[in-house]
Every structure is written in structure tokens, then in C-alpha cells.
Amino acid sequence: MGPQDDVWVDLYFDHLRIERGLSPRTVSAYASDIALLRKALASRQLGLAELNAGAISAVLVELARGGLGARSQARLLSTLRGLYRHLKEEGLVVTSPLQLVSSPRITRKLPSLLTRDEVLRLLDAPDTKTPRGVRDRAMLQTMYAAGLRVSELVGLSVADADLRGAYVTVMGKGGKRRIIPLGGPACEAIERYLSEGRPRWAKPLERRLFLTSRKTGMTRQAFWKLIKLHAASAGISKALTPHMLRHSFATHLLQGGADLRVVQTMLGHSDISTT
């Protein structure tokens, strides 16, 4: 505790700024973590040189009781590992006290979902006596039937929807293209939109599938407003987001007996743990 700690910390920050080229904001985040640790160690009359696995664990328990969450604890440990890794490379320490310390387990909060009844009410909410209602019904049906991300939905072109083959081709994250089957209701909703809604707004050579009455492509923000409007009219009190339809699609497939790998492919997840 004292000057040696200051030298070590300054050396590490120089490494982050100069050798790794990290931004001032990122370096500041590292500095906050180390400052928090040093303050907790100071109350125990310890410095970085005296740090061991037991002291780290005790400090983490103390910080957790003070309200530090699991993610913040994990970030703090990651910062410390980086510090001692650099000190070891510089020959200033022989081993890292972090070797026997494991990161806290971070649990993922499961997304909110719609029940099947709520989904049906939402899909039925748009007034299909109007062109906008026809479009909204088609968008909701397509998103739920294919489990699309909002960006994928609004990015569809007319050529992406093959209604004869009953499937839609989607460009997902990382430029990965996938083909997803569409059910009858979604195909019928898109077909009706193509004949009764889209022609009113489509400019010559317009490729985008879903358009606004201003003759521009539908945006994520505009669709978010639409889905909230229709959720209210359907009597859904949950804080509905467009992504909830995607979560509900996946959950309902799994509840119906679908294979997890198949759902992973349809959602476009590279990691099955995400699914």
C-alpha cells in the first residue's frame, strides 16, 4: 500500500493508453475499478503487493453486500487480471493472486413473453379495412411467423418473400442469409398487402417490402410505435416491445416440441446458449 501501488497502476495505465491504444473513456473505467479495489484494500491495511485470493474474495463479499452487482464484480476481476498479467509480463510479480479466484456467475434475465392468446389478439388488432391496417397485419404476421428481428423485418425486399414457396429469405447479423418458412396466415397477409396496401405507396423501382404512407421504407422506430398502438387496442397491458414477438415465436415453437437446433437456425443465433 503506497508508492509502489501508484507506480504499478501508472505503469498499467500507460500500457492501456499507449500500447493498447484504448480510449480515455475506457481507461477511466479501468481506473474506477482499481480505485474501488484500492479503497476497499486500504480499510484492511493492504496494498496490491499484499493481495491474495483470500483478500480478493473478502473484498468482493464486502462490495456485494454494499450493492455491487455480479456484472460489476466480474468487470472488476477482469480489470485486475489485466493488471497482474501486465505486471507479470514486466517481471514485477511472479504469479497473479487472481489464479484461484473465479468470476461471479451472471444469470441472464429471461425475456418477457406473450401468451398464445395475446399473440392472436395482437395479430388481429390492425383494422384491415384500411391500407395501413393491411400493412400492419402483414408485418406482425411476418415477424411472428418467422421470428424476425425488427431490423430484419423492415429490411425485407419484395423479392425476399416467396409466397408460392411459403418462405422468406432474411439477411441477418454478420451478413448471414437464412431461409425461414412462413405459415399460411403470414403468406395471405403479405399477399393482401401487396395487392391492397403497397401499390398506394410504392415508387417506381422501389424494392423494399414494407413502406409507410409517406412512400418511404418502414423504420424500426416507426414499427415500435405501431406495435405499441396495436397492443393497446388488443388490451395487452404488458410493456410490449417488437423483440417480444421474436421471443414468443421461439418459446411457442419449443413448447410445441420443436428441436432446439432448428429454432436456433431459424432465429439466426450463432451460439445455441443464446437460444
Going from the C-alpha of 176 to that of each of 161, 167, 265, 273, the distances in angstroms are 17, 16, 11, 19
In tens, the pLDDT along 165-177 reads: 999 998 877 778 8
- Outline where DSSP puts E strands in 152-214: 161-162, 167-171, 177-181
Distance in angstroms (rounded) separating the CA atoms of residues 156 and 122: 21
Please say whether the beta carbons of 124 and 234 come within 8 A: yes
| pLDDT higher than 90, residue 7 | no
pTM: predicted TM-score of the whole model, two decimal places: 0.60
- C-alpha cell of residue 237: 397491458
**Residue type (1 letter), 66:** G
In tens, the pLDDT along 90-142 reads: 888 888 877 767 666 655 666 678 888 998 999 999 999 999 999 999 999 99
In tens, the pLDDT along 227-264 reads: 899 989 989 888 887 778 888 888 887 777 777 777 77
The residue behind cell 493472486 is 97
User: For residues 40 and 169, which has the higher predicted lDDT (pLDDT)?
Assistant: 169
Burial of 102 (0-12, 13-18, 19+ CB in 10 A): exposed
Burial of 247 (0-12, 13-18, 19+ CB in 10 A): middle
What percent of the chain lies above the pLDDT cut of 70? 93
Distance in angstroms (rounded) separating the CA atoms of residues 269 and 86: 35
- C-alpha cell of residue 188: 395471405
- Enclosing H/E stretch for 168: strand 167-171
Distance in angstroms (rounded) separating the CA atoms of residues 65 and 61: 6
Q: Give the residue among 15, 19, 18 at the shortest CA–CA distance from 83.
A: 15
What percent of the chain lies above the pLDDT cut of 90? 30
